Structure 1
């Protein structure tokens, strides 16, 4: 399907209904029927979703409670399930009918809409088609190709959905082969968390667990669209708001999930004519990149209130005992705060001083506060500093390491956090290499590997010769799409392990394989019987997942089986890893994890219990694995998180990319974004009405966007519609991944290399 076929009659109008509610149920029903499934089938499947005896959602990473709701699934989770268990098939006949060059003209949605992959395929350059290949032949040729390459030129990518068992095997395969080139989804979203939190509190992940939401008396949300990206979290916010807990949200766009919500499991709310529960007590339309400034304003007022309390001889506002016992660097942070100018704070954040002081006073009265955040904090030039500033704000009143309080990074993919836990990292110091050497009798490489940005550079300059992808749609998800795609087709070897067809599969290198695998929801039977897998959620709890549906094709292999066969063909006799034994019985992989990682003791006894088990995180009990052995107040270099980007708000605007309500990461379920009132298109740019008036633009005018960068590269997307939306002046918004061609590869967090997709300087060009 060409783009013109989906943009002829789009509409954009305000959406005033709550998230959840009847709109959510209607959307799920439509998607269910579109995949050839009956409502009864879906009801049976989602009844098992996120339950102890069922499967972990294939969508987001939000927590799986020990005592689940009757329906422990959300709108997007149900869509993800329907998308995976679809009756549609991209089978041998489909590939025999379609040339790869022709498929490249299809949209992301149309490609995945063809259904589940069923047969291992090899690209035939002469035919420009994928043709069937025997599994054993595919593995043999992959092994031969890898044997002829320098290990440093090969990348082993992992998307966020692969289970802990598979991820551990994947990391071992890469290291036995000879590199730490293990980029993953974290590099593109929460790497700023993984780099920032260890410096602040000694933990690479958050400290909040589900029961903390029951005990908190205030919450912050920064740059996280809960209603679309982690809707099951709406239950915790909903319950907190019914208790009267203030929820203060900072986000450039008005997102319905953090404004109004009707619980589909509450008959009273569903039948009520009202607008649902008000989810944010305060909602501030912060300017993109204004988060440090906003947090500085609140923290500055906390200092002011503490000064007044000290002068009056009353109880201190700062948690001085906590700071004295657990804190380091507070004096420097305090001096920086006192020197911060209110005029700069207001200008950069876009929020009035009176509002920041009011919320700061509210924070000063609260006893247990949770700081939630998403990629609105991490995907900036100083995203790491954003994360550390939120930690600073929490530390001022001792809000880490006690019940009802803590730092809560809200992850995306369902096991992206867990993959890092079990060794998917390009940083050798984060993997237990000495244990790998001892247990499996090989010498692990000690040289740093490639992260996502570095892998892209290698693809562009030709130093990367082979790319093996354990899931994902890498070329579509990364910056510089227009440059990456032609460079990808110069690879010597491309191996794609997947459940559905996506655009990355249509960029064949010299030798290209498309290897279909079982989905998480499907039964996985190996020699010892039915197998289960595990994953880690956003709150660092480990859960089991049990497949329930018959496989989409008898030709499918499990991910562990595919990894093991590639390993046997590539690195035979180079370690003592018992690949076949592990595939026969996944519990043996978990036993291996248990002896490698202390957090995973008694893994097989604990991972299937309701609620799973929580990793042992010292920061949760106020033990700080930092260089100072304290919780560190880290001083930002400035109030602006994008100080080297020229955005004048007149001719140069600040683009932030977003996801729609009909999407999860690069998977597009449809062309509607119900919660923003957009129907029938993704080719739309949302603008402030004053910016539109100044540029003499009206709704539905056609424009091009060009990146404002002086590096000699023309980055441009064409033929978008503009539409008025409630967004701060000087900012515009549009959909990922379509706008990735505008994101320069060098435009990333200076410390974590996370692409700065929430702050891209662009120029708007009216089409003739």
Structure 2
């Protein structure tokens, strides 16, 4: 039932500047400065003893998995510091002693809270009791768990059809929580299970599935040590996956070469100081990238086509550049590829890419005689209209070189959230898997829905159009993570109910359905005791290994519950105990959940036992060079179109990026020291020549607009900063600039938003701010 009452909440929060200070970009990643920053955050949020005790157990075999990224742990782990600066910040953020209790929400209305920045909201601390925001109210108030479950059941019973409910999943959920959540959604009757991978690596999954038969990477951690060449494309490991730097360092020490392909040169690939080594604390560190190719935004395909054409020309001379035995035995599409690639004009490809031909030739020389090649990538390749084709073009290189199914070679999509890959593996998916459905029916004894569900974009549209009325979030900050912030906010506000299972306050708790619930949950670092027995979770890292995670800290409150228990109790309340699945039993014993995962999810086997210690790898057909599931039983070499971007004279191509003080939408601080920006996030990086052309000076105030399909979107009040970025390209932080990304423009076949290639205009304002010295 529609409600005319509207809360006057801010979608973007504060749009004021915070005394910016600029410095030279820090050219050395990690080192003692990284250690200092990590400890500073931990001591401030948790205290010294709590910090040190938790850090010593993070990423250890008998401890808990880092709540930040999904980079794998080495088998020979440091006993003192098997974590990075951002991992330490993520732990401090989760395990903070600050608490957002009922008193906070009694004092502050949601309207007042929404005026604060995302950084300020996060700093209120941990949520410690269930809260409800009732219709016609602007204050959250406490509610008992039983009452909360009853309210959810009541709303679900009102829906005319199960597809009016949407169940969103964040990638920080455990395998056990995600599996139970997905089974409840199916038992309720819908496949509406959008998840955060729809917004990031869905393009990877589609491209790898089409070409290699599995939507995951093929490498293991040790492969990076043995590679002759590692290509890092559209990724900033120094900030986003800092522990990856240690693996790259081993590659370098073994004689390997690293090629960086990215519009921005990132500090982590300039010089890395490993804080675990004396040379990294006292010495000069390791120069990482042997070659940096500052490609224009989303012109990776022209660059790769140019490299591949040059390699093909060399191969035509001696027939030794490409692995023809591999091509003949394992691939299809070589002739069509070769015919197509030779039609391109090299000068045109070079102009599109925007790099020096001498640098391209250096890349060709590195690749020409190399057999062990790894391609790593992240959002810089996936979040474009042609994101799927971007990845397929890099896969072509690996197939032509036979760089798959051998040590030191393969695909390496670097996932963000710590268990986003595991969520998908255990069944969080909006599409229908008939084999999984059959196993659900056989072992869980209910009929799962057979109609395709909604992904993130489709869920936004359904809520916006009033076709979806109940919105559940298992973690995450959906409003800030999704594209087109205003549209997304309108969509959520059209719902009758929004439910969020969360650890910390974020903006999606303030921009809600008519009725909203916050259900506080344990963090990954906290002990999870159930009936006198400590439970543990399992997670899957970005290379497909499943391992255990067991918290060690005292829970922040006696009134928070684990994600599996919350889901189980919601399901038990809705079904009133009348369902073939014993939800309550699974919520109280995660071993039972793992038994069902083994039966239902593909590739899992004896997980409770095999996840101990180092854990175990899920099956991966590429490692065995088994392409039987693909056409002709072969890996597919593909023909991919060039990206089509037409910029007006006054337009620029915007890529959204992270600062060094954030992980995804969580803002830990206001500094980005690797880029020399302190105490501010509302900035735009632009080439000095472009600034001169527009008559802009450093720290001029501008607005940014984008226009798609006749709809004008605007991001207010940003500061201009000259930076080493290719002309015609600009960069700015998300989520502040997500407001410019149109929800209905996304990658073909994956529907991943175009957050890394948005056409925008810059509008100078009259005022200018002064830098704080």
Q: Give the TM-score normalised by structure 2.
A: 0.95
User: In the alignment, does 2:661 pair up with 1:662?
Assistant: yes
Is 2:15–2:717's contact at 8 Å kept on the other side of the alignment? no
User: In the alignment, does 2:28 pair up with 1:18?
Assistant: yes
Partner residue of 2:5?
Answer: none
Could you tell me how far apart the structure 2 residues matched to 1:410 and 1:65 are?
A: 16
Call closer, same or farther: CA 1:485–1:4 in 2, change over 3 Å: closer
User: In the alignment, does 2:356 pair up with 1:347?
Assistant: no
Partner residue of 1:313?
Answer: none
Could you tell me how far apart the structure 2 residues matched to 1:6 and 1:524 are?
A: 41
Partner residue of 1:499?
Answer: 503
Indicate the larger mover: 463-472 or 587-596.
Answer: 587-596
Q: 1:69 aligns with which of 55, 78, 87?
A: 78
Is 1:342–1:353's contact at 8 Å kept on the other side of the alignment? no
User: In the alignment, does 2:294 pair up with 1:285?
Assistant: yes
Structure 1 residue 119, shift from structure 2 partner: 0.5
Structure 1 residue 259, shift from structure 2 partner: 1.2
Could you tell me how far apart the structure 2 residues matched to 1:78 and 1:54 are?
A: 14
Partner residue of 1:614?
Answer: 617
Could you tell me how far apart the structure 1 residues matched to 2:679 and 2:14 are?
A: 11
Hey, which bits of structure 1, 4+ residues long, moved more than 6 A?
1-6
Structure 1 residue 8, shift from structure 2 partner: 4.2
User: In the alignment, does 2:181 pair up with 1:177?
Assistant: no
Indicate the larger mover: 120-129 or 399-408.
Answer: 120-129
Partner residue of 1:583?
Answer: 587
Q: Can you list the C-alpha shifts for 1:594-653, whole angstroms capped at 9, x where unaligned?
A: 12235211211110222x1111111111001313310100110x222xx1x4224x4110
Could you tell me how far apart the structure 1 residues matched to 2:347 and 2:364 are?
A: 17
Q: 1:217 aligns with which of 199, 214, 228?
A: 228
Could you tell me how far apart the structure 1 residues matched to 2:409 and 2:220 are?
A: 9
Structure 1 residue 708, shift from structure 2 partner: 3.1
Q: Can you list the C-alpha shifts for 1:390-415, whole angstroms capped at 9, x where unaligned?
A: 11011111001111100000000000
Structure 2 counterpart SS, 1:577: coil
Q: Within 5 Å, give how 1:524-535 maps onto structure 2.
A: 524-527=528-531, 529-535=533-539
Partner residue of 1:248?
Answer: 259
Is 1:297–1:353's contact at 8 Å kept on the other side of the alignment? no
Indicate the larger mover: 695-704 or 295-304.
Answer: 295-304
Structure 1 residue 562, shift from structure 2 partner: 0.5
User: In the alignment, does 2:238 pair up with 1:257?
Assistant: no
User: In the alignment, does 2:210 pair up with 1:207?
Assistant: no
Structure 1 residue 21, shift from structure 2 partner: 0.9
Is 1:159–1:472's contact at 8 Å kept on the other side of the alignment? yes
Structure 1 residue 69, shift from structure 2 partner: 2.1
Structure 1 counterpart SS, 2:638: coil
Structure 1 residue 239, shift from structure 2 partner: 1.5
Is 2:39–2:88's contact at 8 Å kept on the other side of the alignment? no
Q: 1:366 aligns with which of 367, 370, 387?
A: 370
Could you tell me how far apart the structure 2 residues matched to 1:5 and 1:372 are?
A: 36
Partner residue of 1:509?
Answer: 513
Structure 2 counterpart SS, 1:515: strand
Q: Can you list the C-alpha shifts for 1:279-302, whole angstroms capped at 9, x where unaligned?
A: 100011111111111111111111
Structure 2 counterpart SS, 1:495: strand
Could you tell me how far apart the structure 2 residues matched to 1:345 and 1:266 are?
A: 42
Q: Can you list the C-alpha shifts for 1:332-388, whole angstroms capped at 9, x where unaligned?
A: 111111111112211111123332232112101112111101110100001000111
Is 1:442–1:574's contact at 8 Å kept on the other side of the alignment? no
Structure 1 residue 538, shift from structure 2 partner: 0.6
Structure 1 residue 198, shift from structure 2 partner: 0.8
Could you tell me how far apart the structure 2 residues matched to 1:555 and 1:173 are?
A: 23
Is 1:499–1:518's contact at 8 Å kept on the other side of the alignment? yes
Call closer, same or farther: CA 1:334–1:574 in 2, change over 3 Å: farther
Partner residue of 2:695?
Answer: 696
Could you tell me how far apart the structure 2 residues matched to 1:34 and 1:489 are?
A: 36
Structure 2 counterpart SS, 1:715: strand
Structure 1 counterpart SS, 2:58: coil
Could you tell me how far apart the structure 2 residues matched to 1:702 and 1:619 are?
A: 50
Is 1:348–1:639's contact at 8 Å kept on the other side of the alignment? no
Indicate the larger mover: 483-492 or 293-302.
Answer: 483-492
Structure 1 residue 11, shift from structure 2 partner: 2.0
Partner residue of 2:636?
Answer: 632
Call closer, same or farther: CA 1:574–1:342 in 2, change over 3 Å: farther
User: In the alignment, does 2:571 pair up with 1:567?
Assistant: yes
5+ residue gaps, structure 2: 1-9, 767-773
Partner residue of 1:454?
Answer: 458
Could you tell me how far apart the structure 2 residues matched to 1:765 and 1:326 are?
A: 53
Structure 1 residue 479, shift from structure 2 partner: 1.1
User: In the alignment, does 2:238 pair up with 1:227?
Assistant: yes
Is 1:540–1:614's contact at 8 Å kept on the other side of the alignment? yes
Structure 2 counterpart SS, 1:277: coil
Call closer, same or farther: CA 1:147–1:125 in 2, change over 3 Å: closer
Structure 2 counterpart SS, 1:434: helix
Could you tell me how far apart the structure 2 residues matched to 1:501 and 1:417 are?
A: 25
Q: 1:466 aligns with which of 467, 470, 474?
A: 470
Could you tell me how far apart the structure 2 residues matched to 1:552 and 1:706 are?
A: 43
Structure 1 residue 112, shift from structure 2 partner: 1.1
Structure 1 residue 472, shift from structure 2 partner: 0.5
Structure 1 counterpart SS, 2:71: coil
Q: 2:204 aligns with which of 166, 185, 193?
A: 193
Could you tell me how far apart the structure 2 residues matched to 1:576 and 1:125 are?
A: 34
Structure 2 counterpart SS, 1:381: coil
Structure 1 residue 131, shift from structure 2 partner: 0.4
Call closer, same or farther: CA 1:753–1:126 in 2, change over 3 Å: closer
Q: Can you list the C-alpha shifts for 1:484-526, whole angstroms capped at 9, x where unaligned?
A: 2233222101001000000000023222111001111100011
Call closer, same or farther: CA 1:562–1:97 in 2, change over 3 Å: same
Call closer, same or farther: CA 1:351–1:574 in 2, change over 3 Å: farther
Structure 1 counterpart SS, 2:394: helix
Structure 1 counterpart SS, 2:342: helix
Could you tell me how far apart the structure 1 residues matched to 2:194 and 2:90 are?
A: 24
Is 2:444–2:581's contact at 8 Å kept on the other side of the alignment? yes
Could you tell me how far apart the structure 2 residues matched to 1:360 and 1:691 are?
A: 31
Q: Within 5 Å, give how 1:430-445 maps onto structure 2.
A: 432-445=436-449
Q: Can you list the C-alpha shifts for 1:15-52, whole angstroms capped at 9, x where unaligned?
A: 143010122122213312331x3334322211111111
Could you tell me how far apart the structure 1 residues matched to 2:294 and 2:417 are?
A: 26
Q: Give the TM-score normalised by structure 1.
A: 0.96
Call closer, same or farther: CA 1:506–1:216 in 2, change over 3 Å: same
Partner residue of 1:83?
Answer: 93
**What is the aligned residue count?**
753
Is 1:423–1:431's contact at 8 Å kept on the other side of the alignment? no
Structure 1 residue 215, shift from structure 2 partner: 1.6
Partner residue of 2:410?
Answer: 406
Call closer, same or farther: CA 1:395–1:5 in 2, change over 3 Å: closer
Q: Can you list the C-alpha shifts for 1:662-709, whole angstroms capped at 9, x where unaligned?
A: 000000001111111110100000001111010010000110000032
Could you tell me how far apart the structure 2 residues matched to 1:134 and 1:32 are?
A: 32
Structure 1 counterpart SS, 2:674: helix
Call closer, same or farther: CA 1:493–1:3 in 2, change over 3 Å: closer
User: In the alignment, does 2:106 pair up with 1:96?
Assistant: yes
Partner residue of 2:673?
Answer: 674
Partner residue of 2:606?
Answer: 602
Could you tell me how far apart the structure 1 residues matched to 2:717 and 2:226 are?
A: 50
Indicate the larger mover: 263-272 or 228-237.
Answer: 263-272
Structure 1 residue 266, shift from structure 2 partner: 1.0
Structure 1 residue 163, shift from structure 2 partner: 0.3
Q: Can you list the C-alpha shifts for 1:290-334, whole angstroms capped at 9, x where unaligned?
A: 111111111111111111114xxxxx2110000000010010111
Indicate the larger mover: 434-443 or 184-193.
Answer: 434-443
Structure 1 residue 5, shift from structure 2 partner: 8.8
Could you tell me how far apart the structure 1 residues matched to 2:156 and 2:176 are?
A: 23
Structure 2 counterpart SS, 1:206: coil
Structure 1 residue 126, shift from structure 2 partner: 4.5
